[in-house]
């Protein structure tokens, strides 16, 4: 009523972050929230794991996160992926998860993938692989990944895929990462 009297638009009802920062985890709360997000996606939503999806790889993997921000201030973890070196020059990405409410906001998943591969590339990666759930193969193909084979992991169809490294220039600043700006910023 007051908004009508003074001729201004009411505040939007939907929350939309002004930006997302895609980066390596650097703070304890980021890692903790990334693990919670993984549990929500892989245990509760998809039922791939019972209870928790953490394993021994988490002890040596580098966790990446997508952080929603308001006016540059971190608000919440909305995406995550982990990477680790499996042998000299061979890296593997796994546990890519984006919060269900943010899957259509910007390019969170694809930017997580881009930073994962580009940061490994800067650390000497010669081959970057991932076991991709079959429904996500089209996304990875658009991002210049090749299918190497089909497999079943955790009772679900997956594809072993390899990134075309020439399309992922090395990123030597993964702690700062990349920023996705949304249309809500003035």
Dump pLDDT digits (tens) for 109-145. 999 999 999 999 999 999 999 999 999 999 999 999 9
Mean pLDDT score across all residues of the chain: 90
Q: What average pLDDT score do residues 60-73 get?
A: 92
pLDDT beyond 60 at 10: no
Instruction: Write out pLDDT tens, residues 14-41.
Output: 567 889 999 999 999 999 999 999 999 9
The 3-state DSSP class for residue 114 equals: helix
Q: What average pLDDT score do residues 163-173 get?
A: 97
Residue 159 covered by a domain: yes
Q: How many residues does the chain have?
A: 186
Residue 8 covered by a domain: no
| Tally of domains in the chain | 1
- How far is residue 130's CA from residue 151's CA, in Å, rounded to a whole number? 12
Residue 63 covered by a domain: yes
The CATH number of the domain where 100 resides is what? 3.40.630.30
> Which residues form the domain of 30?
16-181
**Strands ordered across the beta sheet of 90-98:** 145-153, 156-163, 127-133, 90-98, 73-87, 62-70, 19-24, 178-181
What pLDDT, on a 0 to 100 scale, did the predictor assign at position 1?
A: 37
Residue 160 covered by a domain: yes
Strand partners, 23: 65
pLDDT beyond 80 at 87: yes
- What sign results for the dihedral spanned by CA atoms 113, 117, 122, 123? positive
Contact 83, 168 (CB under 8 A): no
Residue 84 covered by a domain: yes
Of 28-37, 64-73, 102-111, highest mean pLDDT? 28-37
Residue 186 covered by a domain: no
pTM: 0.88
Residue 154 covered by a domain: yes
Residue 127 covered by a domain: yes
């Amino acid at each position: 009523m007051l908004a009508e009297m003074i001729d201004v638009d009411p505040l939007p009802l939907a929350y939309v972050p002004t930006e997302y920062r895609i980066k390596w985890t650097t703070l304890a709360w980021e890692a903790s929230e990334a693990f919670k997000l993984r549990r929500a996606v892989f245990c509760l939503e998809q039922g791939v794991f019972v209870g928790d999806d953490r394993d021994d790889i988490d002890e040596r993997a580098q966790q990446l996160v997508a952080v929603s921000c308001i006016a540059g201030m971190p608000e919440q973890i909305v995406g995550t992926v982990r990477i680790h070196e499996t042998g000299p020059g061979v890296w593997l990405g796994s546990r890519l998860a984006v919060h269900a409410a943010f899957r259509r906001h910007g390019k969170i998943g694809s930017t997580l993938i881009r930073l994962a591969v580009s940061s490994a590339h800067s650390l000497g990666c010669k081959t970057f692989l991932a076991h991709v759930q079959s429904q996500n193969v089209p996304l990875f193909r658009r991002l210049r990944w090749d299918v190497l084979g089909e497999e079943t992991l955790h009772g679900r169809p997956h594809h072993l895929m390899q990134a075309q490294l020439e399309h992922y220039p090395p990123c030597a600043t993964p702690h700062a990462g990349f920023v996705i700006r949304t249309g809500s910023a003035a």
